Amino acid sequence: MYNMKYFENAREGKNHWLLYVALLAIGYVVAQIPSVVYMPILYVRKAINGEMPGLQNGDFSEAIKTSMNMLNDLPGFVVLMLSFVFWIGVTWLLFKPFHKRDRMTLISGEKRFRLGRFFVGVAGYFVIMGLVTVVALLISPETNITFQFDGSKYIVFVILAIILVPFQTGCEELIFRGYIMQGLGLCTKSKIWALVITSVTFGLMHSINPEVFEYGFFKAIPVFILMGAMLGFFTIVDDGLEFSWGIHFINNFVAFAIFGNEGSTFGASPLFVQAKEEFSIAMWLTPILVTVVMYALLHKKLGWNLKEAFEMQ
């Protein structure tokens, strides 16, 4: 196993906590620019067309849901993805001036992008989740699945997804499994605490996702927390976030463009849409199962070692 340097590299340069707060705040504010520009235009257009629903009985959660649903089309998808492009862009631009260290220390302990690790994450997760989906459909053949293909519109969507989803997932990996996790590792001197805190934060970040409105906060959010824990776990054992980035990319791309649940993803146009089902404990167990299976299959091939990975040097 190579030396574990991903967390240790974070000790380079300047690491005052105010720098972390400042850069995260700047990134978040800049990420709102696409929506701030687009939403007023969208509101005016819908108001002119008489499509604006009123706020009934002071139900602000319904108002939030309605506002987010307004982005549930191709332009809305692009606007949401551009938010992540802006965020990752400004973070990448300002990181070195702020922290006085190499930007690649955010990505890998080896200070370089390991493209092979990214594609192993893509292929491994795609195969395992494909098998899980097939088994689930065999167990429940009555599942209602609809095929939808809107010709050129779908082709345009897929092209945009291929271009933009790597930025969306890369931004979340760079911020959560990179910037925040490394900072928390320095602060707590514990990779486990860094993993737990970033996983919970990652889950809460998805609080206005459609799944939360469909299933309820306390049913849906643990799924996102466990997904964050899986991605964080693989970032730690693989000493970098390329593998997790690959997992995250193929997970989101498939949900957007190939196989998704009804009303589960903003602006998605998957070929196959599964009708909404009642919440089941299997939704919580799937990220855990996938983590165990992927680790069991790949740990020898990729040189993973749990004891070495979670030690703070």
Q: What is the pLDDT of residues 242-277, one digit of tens each?
A: 999 999 999 999 988 888 777 666 666 788 888 777
Sequence-distant (6+) residues with CB within 8 A of 16 are none
Burial 129-150 (b: 16+ CB within 10 A, else e): beeeeeeeeeeeeeeeeeeeee
Q: Terminus-to-terminus CA distance in the chain, angstroms?
A: 15
Angle at Cα 33 formed by Cα 28 and Cα 36, nearest 5°? 115
Q: How far is CA 298 from CA 15, 238, 304, in A?
A: 34, 11, 8
* Nearest CA-CA partner of 124 in 2, 269, 242, 273: 242
Residue 33 near residue 88 (C-beta atoms within 8 A): no
Residue 183 near residue 15 (C-beta atoms within 8 A): yes
pLDDT of res. 2: 57
CA dihedral 120, 125, 131, 132 (to 10 degrees): 160
Q: Where are the domains of the chain?
A: 8-309
Sequence-distant (6+) residues with CB within 8 A of 233 are 195, 291, 295
Amino acid at 267: G
pLDDT of res. 204: 93
Sequence-distant (6+) residues with CB within 8 A of 108 are 6, 114, 239, 240, 241, 242
Chunked into runs of 10 residues, the chain (313 residues) has average pLDDT values of 81 93 97 91 75 55 58 83 96 96 94 95 94 82 77 89 96 96 94 96 88 83 95 96 97 89 70 76 86 94 91 77
Reported as type and span, the H/E element at residue 2 is: none
Separation between Cα atoms, residue 162 and residue 266, nearest integer Å: 16
Sequence-distant (6+) residues with CB within 8 A of 38 are 75, 76, 79
Helix orientation angle between 74-99 and 33-48, rounded to the nearest 10 degrees: 160
Q: How far is CA 79 from CA 8, 251, 255, in A?
A: 36, 20, 18
Backbone phi and psi for residue 195, each to the nearest 5 degrees, phi listed first: -65, -45
Separation between Cα atoms, residue 96 and residue 13, nearest integer Å: 9
